[in-house]
Structure 1
Amino acid sequence: MTDYSRLIDAETWAFIERTNSFYPPDTIDYTIDQQRALYDRMCREFHSGYPDAVSAKTGAIETADHAIPIRTYRRADPDRSALVLYYHGGGFILGGLESHDDVCAELNGRTGYEVVAVDYRLVPEHVHPAAFDDAMSAFEWAAGSDDRPILLCGDSAGGNLAAAVAHATRGHPRAPIGQVLIYPGLGGDVTRGSYVTHAEAPMLAMRDLQFYGNRRAGGADLAADPTYAPLADTDFSGLAPTVVITAECDPLSSDGEAYRDAILAAGGKAHWREEEGLVHGYLRGRHTVGRARDSFTRIVDAVKALGKGEWPY
């Protein structure tokens, strides 16, 4: 049994307790509507506002049968080196343009790169591959409407989508120039590593992952589908330079290590960092938890570097 009293510091415990006060650990036992209401309220409570000189405009990408809401963040003095596509977390069930609004605004403010948040369709109303299809549509829209290099970024479920898009667009004339994945779920081996040692971690446990995965798949067995589980791909060559940041106290952490190793074995560029003592969802604690603040700076630095075609690792 993992001793979290030793691994997790006081600031992070305070963040966990504040999160649980809005979004209890047993929330997956509630109805989907109740889960979303709790999650949305929690995100509002943690919203930290916009940096100076950052503005946002909400719009939509029109596809053949539906519109995909997007929100574009711009700084008054933009850096046009890259365009960041951001896919939000939330287990494919929760979240949207509001849930990661301040994260995207701060990413824009600190890098200068325009950030486009993508409000992909959610489960259970739209099972796989709906979210992936929307993530791909957003990439195609960006590639067809903007001449800036495209950088993929996402957290948790959004990290899964960013990676899946990176795999699917390797042969594209506007293939992404990099990807930054924040505690992503990539479909790793659940019988080993962090899936075992952190099966009962605060903020995200194996029971939660099973709930999200079963509903996303709609009852189908998609474990071998790389658009669902990027680690299931049989070819990791030709991927854009990749930075993966994971939390130590998170069952998903081993996915970052496995993904890095697969890319390196195929001759690519990949860097994985496991953040000591942090938990899944720590982005919301970046203003109150020192470790999360430092990690967010590393994430910003990774986005900056990859956007300029640099590899400081």
Structure 2
Amino acid sequence: MTQDSHRPMPTEPGILAFHARCEAFYPADAVHGSIAQQRGWYDALCAEFDAPPPPGMHKADGLVAGRVPVRYYRPSVVSTQTRLLYIHGGGFVVGSLNSHDSICAEIAHAAKAELVSVDYRLAPEHVWLAAFEDCWAVLLDLLASSRPVVVIGDSAGGNLTAGIVLNARDVGAGPIAGQVLIYPALGGDLVSGSYAEMAQAPGLTTADVSYYRDVVKAPKGDVYAFPLLAKDLAGLPPSYITAAFFDPLRDDARHYATRLGAAGVPVEFREEPQMIHAWLRARHMSEGAREGFSALCAAVSRMAGTRST
């Protein structure tokens, strides 16, 4: 993430302060560090933006299929039978049950729904399809009860969300009530559109995206790894997709939303005009992030069929 005097930057003070705070914990050239260094920096960054859980939130850790760590969240008020599955971001390289803990707790609280977060295997120790297989195992475990599931993921987690939801359609698994993709990485070409325009964007560069793809080693023609390659998107569940304007992944979200709509899938697309990649973590210090998070939680609630109380 090299600094550049011509790099595109937002003007909202809150998100600029967030970015500056991030850079103090996660170096701009973090991808050049060792894997251990990257994870240490990321853990410190996540701890910096941690927040206490909403009152009455119950959390418990467990294993799915005897091998995949998960964390269960049950808010003080549950107003739907639909459950939420959250898949964290981190370029397939960093992230854990702890990295997105407060985000998961706040989404579960806002949607008044039980949520399960998955700690999938990370690259480079575990390349494709390891992360996909872990997330798929947790989805199947949730679907076994015949209760609807809304699948949610940010960044690399958005990639995994789109992939397992595509797979669920292809094998007839369900019921899936919706998918929520938050600044997702969906397999764009790295050379045009936002990949060129936002190549030096704050928080994530196109070179970073290329690095993460190289590390995870997904086959280039695999539609579950690169959902934009899927020829047919018909029959997918209702979708909510949110993008950041200052993000090389922006057009992945735009194009996927457009194609879903053209395939007859109910889709809501929201682009945050002042946001950068990973703005979810800025929800308590940026007005734009706060509004985006509120819209996200409202969409999850609608998909989950949360009853008004």
TM-score (norm 1): 0.93
User: Is residue 308 of structure 1 aligned with residue 283 of structure 2?
Assistant: no
**Does residue 259 of structure 1 match 2:256?**
yes
CA gap 1:251/1:109 in 2 versus in 1, 3 angstroms = same
- The answer for the alignment partner of 1:51 in structure 2 is 54
Where does residue 149 of structure 2 map in the other structure? 150
CA distance in 2, matches of 1:285, 1:115: 21
SS in structure 2 of the partner of residue 169 of structure 1: helix
SS in 1 for 2:220: coil
Match of residue 240, structure 1, among 219, 234, 237 = 237
Change in CA separation of 1:223 and 1:111 when aligned onto 2, cut-off 3 Å: same
Runs of 4+ in 1 over 4 A off after TM superposition: none
- 8 Å CA contact retained: 1:178, 1:306: yes
Measured in 2, the distance between the counterparts of 1:10 and 1:272 equals: 25
Aligned to 1:230: 227
2: CA distance between counterparts of 1:225 and 1:258? 18
Instruction: Name the structure 1 match of 2:199.
Output: 199
Question: Could you give the per-residue CA deviations for residues 225-252 of structure 1, whole angstroms, max 9, x where no partner exists?
Answer: 1111111111111000111001000000
Query: 1:91 corresponds to which residue?
Result: 91
CA contact (8 A) 1:223 1:232 kept: no
Q: Which residue of 2 aligns with 1:14?
A: 17
> What is the letter of the counterpart of residue 142 of structure 1?
L
Question: 1:3 deviation in Å?
Answer: 6.0
User: Residue type of the partner of 1:254?
Assistant: D
**Aligned residue number for residue 29 of structure 1:** 32
* Paired letter, 2:257: R
Distance in 1 (CA, whole Å) between partners of 2:91 and 2:206 is 12
Q: Distance between the aligned counterparts of 2:108 and 2:258, measured in 1?
A: 30
Distance in 1, matches of 2:94 and 2:258, equals 30
Aligned runs of 1:258-277 on 2, under 5 Å? 258-277=255-274
The alignment covers a number of residue pairs equal to: 302
SS state of the match for residue 226, structure 1?
A: coil
8 Å contact kept, 1:177–1:309: no
Contact 1:194/1:250 (8 A) holds in 2? yes
Contact 1:2 1:198 in 2 (8 A): no
| Cα distance, 1:173 vs structure 2 | 4.4
CA distance in 1, matches of 2:188, 2:301: 28
Among 278, 289, 294, which residue is 1:292 paired with? 289
Q: Distance in 2 between matches of 1:205 and 1:238?
A: 33
Structure 1 residues without counterparts, runs of 5 or longer? none
Deviation larger for 41-50 or 188-197? 188-197
TM-score normalised by L of structure 2: 0.94
Contact map agreement 1:80 1:148 (CA 8 A) in 2: no
Q: Taking structure 1 as reference, are residues 223 and 173 closer, same or farther at Cα in structure 2, changes over 3 Å only?
A: closer
Bigger relative CO (Cα 8 Å, ≥ 6 apart): 2
Superposed CA offset, 1:38-74 (max 9, x none): 10111011101101111110001125xxx10000000
Give the conservation status (yes or no) of the 8 Å contact 1:43–1:99.
yes
- Kept after mapping to 2: 8 A contact 1:92/1:123: yes
Give the aligned partner of residue 209 of structure 2: 209
Q: Which amino acid aligns with 1:201?
A: A
C-alpha distance after superposition, 1:114-168 (max 9, x if no partner):
0100001100010001101111111111111x33211100100001011001100
Alignment RMSD? 1.6
CA contact (8 A) 2:186 2:227 kept: yes
Counterparts of 1:19 and 1:309 in 2: how far apart (Å)?
A: 34
Which blocks of at least 5 consecutive residues in structure 2 are unaligned?
none
Q: Distance in 2 between matches of 1:153 and 1:175?
A: 15
Alignment-derived partner of residue 102 in structure 1: 102
Tell me which residue corresponds to 2:118.
118
